[in-house]
Chains A and B, each alone.
Chain A
Amino acid sequence: MLIRARRAVWLVFAALVAAILGALAAAGVWLAPHLAAGDLTVAVSGGLGLLGMILIGALALTWVWLDRVLVRPLAAASRGARIIARGRTAHRIEVPDGHLLGDLPDALHGLGEVLHEARSNVERAVADGAARSEQQKAQLEAVLRELSEGVVVCERHGHILLYNPAAQAILGSDPGPGLGRSLYALIRREPIEHALAALTEQQAAAPQADAAMSFVVPGVAGEGLLRCRMRVLSVGPEGHPGFVLALADDTRQVRALHQRDALLRQLVDGLRGPLASLRAAAEALGECGPDEGPQRGAFEAVVEEESRVLSERLERVAQDARGLLGGGGLRAEVAAGVLAAAVARRLDARHPAVRFGLHGSGLWIDGDAHGLALLVEHLAARIAAARGVERIEMETLLGDRRVYLDLSWEGEPVAGAQLDAWLAEGIPAAGPGVTARDIIAEHSGEAWSQRHRHAGRALVRIPLPASSRQWDLAPSAALPARPEFYDFSLAAQWQAARGDSGLVNRELRALEYVVFDTETTGLRPSQGDRMISIAGVRVVNGRLLRGDHFSALINPGRPIPALSTRFHGITDAQVSDAPMAPEVVARFKTFVGEAVLVAHNAAFDMKFLRLQERAAGVVFTNPVLDTLLLSVLLHDHASDHTLDGIARRLAIEVHDRHTALGDALVTAAVFLAQLPLLEERAIANTLGEALAASEQVLDVRRMQAQF
């Protein structure tokens, strides 16, 4: 096609030359008579003029033609190529007909398609990879969540980067572990740092060896004992030094062991005395002659008294021992529902004729899940065979510190002798020589058969220890959705923060914020209005931490006006047992730490907080950002800068307004939406810039207010 173009161009220039020659010839022809007549000047000027005009005309035509067939198509092609490269791969390059580019446009279109396909492939691969990685992440999170051992990952200086629910259960929840918080606020620093130093040395000496160290620390607030196992590792994308700690609460076991020892000692020592007296008196009685009446009487009295003392001591030890017997390592919380399902599965496999199910909701049993499943399966199979029934129902009932596990069927009770015979049978799956009765004994249990409360039914009842999980209060009705419990990029932040010139130069999205809101009795702090509720939520690394929040009612020390109650719903009755402001403000300051404070119309809330600083013994030196001022910065044109208005403008869903926690959440959502806008519009990247910009808005508003 290039050949065609070149030929065309050659032809055109040949035509041009021909035209020029033709023009020259024509000029010559025209000139000749004038030359012959001696009219040189006219001839020459006329000839030159004609020549010039023809030449200019020819050149102009040529330029127009070249422009149409070459220059403009080239420009179009180049523009088109750029558009295609930028992503509009379906763009069609517009070129006029008769262009000399040949199939360059088509080639470019072809490139565009190839580019599009390549991009789609990459996107798909990335999405697949991300989905797989997300799935793996979810699985690992699930594993971490379900571990009964507490796991905590910290960077080198003890700031928490990861913790699982088990760790939270061990370390408590007030204050409890939290992302970015210091581990040493919860447990003693020295043993951990000592182990860390030792492990780091070990690792430096032998980098290939797998180094771990076990030690024991006093529990939270000095109570109890925590068994720890530490390993050194690198955390975060850049591999900062850190460590992982596996925690187990040994307190209960240790305490139980101590109690057992004490009981044994009591038993052995406490009974010696009375027994000795008893024995001596009994022997003396034997020695007494028939006529030593009064002595006989005396010794008989001793015998009676010491026997009574022995009985009492025994009773007391038995009472104390009741709680401890059978507390073996195998026992754990067993949900009756899960147990029933396990039994049903086993029966399905081995005794398919028997149908087994749980009646009602199950209770929690403290026992050996596996052993109990085997026991129940064994009995269910025997009962079904002996009584000729197809369906056995399991039910759990709550007794005094016990859960009665009842296996019931339609028909008559089983004879005690028969039940005893079944219990004496061995259960091979439970271990060599283990009988059903052994499993029951392990649970300090019993078994018997009696009539059911419903006529025509009978049951076998097995009392088992109840698990305290029955009565555990539901976890605090906090915010739903799974709590974030790790963020490894925090490690990099801590690194940065240490070599830092100051908070003001930190980037907005890397800072830690506490977004808070207060409810008050009215709008005039200087005229006696007081806080009645305060709530705060934490934002770390651009994420709202759902599991980490503060919420408290405050006793304002004065009645709440009805108008105010209508607004936020808090009545005098609700705050009457709440603590007073100084206590709550002090606790709030602990929650906030050194984070940047954020609130809507922050000046209002901060005024109330500052009024309590002296009484609470704390000072809020934290920088403060105001979502209202930020909204003015971002959406100057708008007139509605109320929280609802901003939320609407930023398309944020609002639930539950006018409780401190609800408002704090909305403010946090608004703030998180504003941050990227601040960066995009280059209004503020760092904290310092945001503060300065906010100041400017305030100045402007102050000036406006003066008018």
Chain B
Amino acid sequence: MSGRVLIVGDEPNIVLSLEFLLSRAGCEVTTAADGEAALDAIAAAPPDVVLLDVNMPKLDGFQVCERIRANPAWHAVRILILTARGRDIEREKGLALGADGYVTKPFATREVVTKVRELLAAGGAD
């Protein structure tokens, strides 16, 4: 599979591992450490999938999601949110704000890779 994936998160360990695994799977991976950097990166070069950690300081994942969806130019960007708290309402909130999928931490990386693959496929069909 190929596609551009942006990983946004403030826990370097997770970001590192995910970057490694997704690159191995054939994606072109970029990372951002917080919400603002993420929006800048998207503005510069919109990715196909954004992996968005919810818990970030300043601009949290939900707000980034909201802003991506607010921009019609980024309509094709698929958003996968990573929730730290497995509460169903966080999932719902994300979906209500326009996310395309979610993963709960701790997750099996294979799961993430599979979901990214699905989103890329769906994006292509658009």
| A residues lining the B interface (CB < 8 Å) | 307-308, 310-311, 314-315, 318, 322, 400, 402, 415-417, 420, 444-446, 448, 450, 461, 463
Contact = CB atoms under 8 A, between A and B. Distances in A.
Given A446-B92, A450-B96, 8 more contacts: A308-B108, A310-B106, A318-B86, A402-B89, A416-B62, A416-B97, A417-B59, A420-B63
B106 A446 contact: no
A456 B70 CA distance: 16
Nearest to B63: A416
Contacts of A450: 96-97
B106 A314 contact: yes
B88 interface: yes
Contacts of B62: 416, 448
B1 to A, nearest CB: 23
B87 interface: yes
Nearest to B96: A450
Contact of A448 (B86, B87, B93, B108): B93
Interface in B89-105: 89-90, 92-93, 96-97
A274 to B, nearest CB: 12
28 contacts: A307-B106, A308-B108, A310-B106, A311-B106, A311-B108, A314-B106, A315-B86, A318-B86, A400-B88, A415-B66, A416-B62, A416-B63, A416-B66, A416-B97, A417-B63, A420-B60, A444-B89, A445-B89, A446-B87, A446-B89, A446-B93, A448-B62, A448-B93, A448-B96, A448-B97, A450-B97, A461-B96, A463-B92
Contacts of A318: 86
Interface of B: 59-60, 62-63, 66, 86-90, 92-93, 96-97, 106, 108
A307 B63 CA distance: 31
The 3 lowest CB-CB distance pairs between A and B, nearest first, are A311-B106, A416-B63, A446-B89
A307 B62 CA distance: 28
A446 B97 contact: no
B42 to A, nearest CB: 17
Contacts of B90: 446
A444 to B, nearest CB: 7
A446 B90 CA distance: 7
Contacts of A417: 59, 63
Nearest to A311: B106
Nearest to A318: B86
Contacts of B97: 416, 448, 450
A617 B41 CA distance: 85
A386 to B, nearest CB: 16
A322 B108 CA distance: 22
**Central interface residue in A314, A445, A446, by most chain B CB within 10 Å:** A446
Nearest to A464: B89
Given A416-B97, A448-B96, A450-B96, A463 B63 contact: no
A124 B108 CA distance: 85
A448 B60 CA distance: 13
Contacts of B66: 415-416
Contacts of B92: 446, 463
A444 B60 CA distance: 19
Contacts of A307: 106
Nearest to A445: B89
Nearest to B88: A400
A400 B106 CA distance: 24
B12 to A, nearest CB: 17
A444 B87 contact: yes
Contacts of A308: 108
Contacts of A444: 87, 89
A307 to B, nearest CB: 7
Contacts of A322: 87
Contacts of B59: 417
B64 to A, nearest CB: 9
A461 B86 CA distance: 19
A420 B66 CA distance: 13
Contacts of A310: 106
Contact of A463 (B60, B89, B106, B108): B89
Contacts of B108: 308, 311
Contacts of B88: 400
Contacts of A402: 89
A444 B87 CA distance: 9
A434 to B, nearest CB: 21
A314 B85 CA distance: 11
B13 to A, nearest CB: 12
A310 B66 CA distance: 33
A417 B35 CA distance: 12
A415 B65 CA distance: 11
A44 B69 CA distance: 153
A444 B63 CA distance: 20
Nearest to B85: A318
Contacts of A415: 63, 66
Contacts of B87: 322, 444, 446
A318 B108 CA distance: 17
Nearest to B98: A450
A57 B19 CA distance: 150
Contacts of B89: 402, 444-446, 463
A445 B86 CA distance: 13
Contacts of B63: 415-417, 420
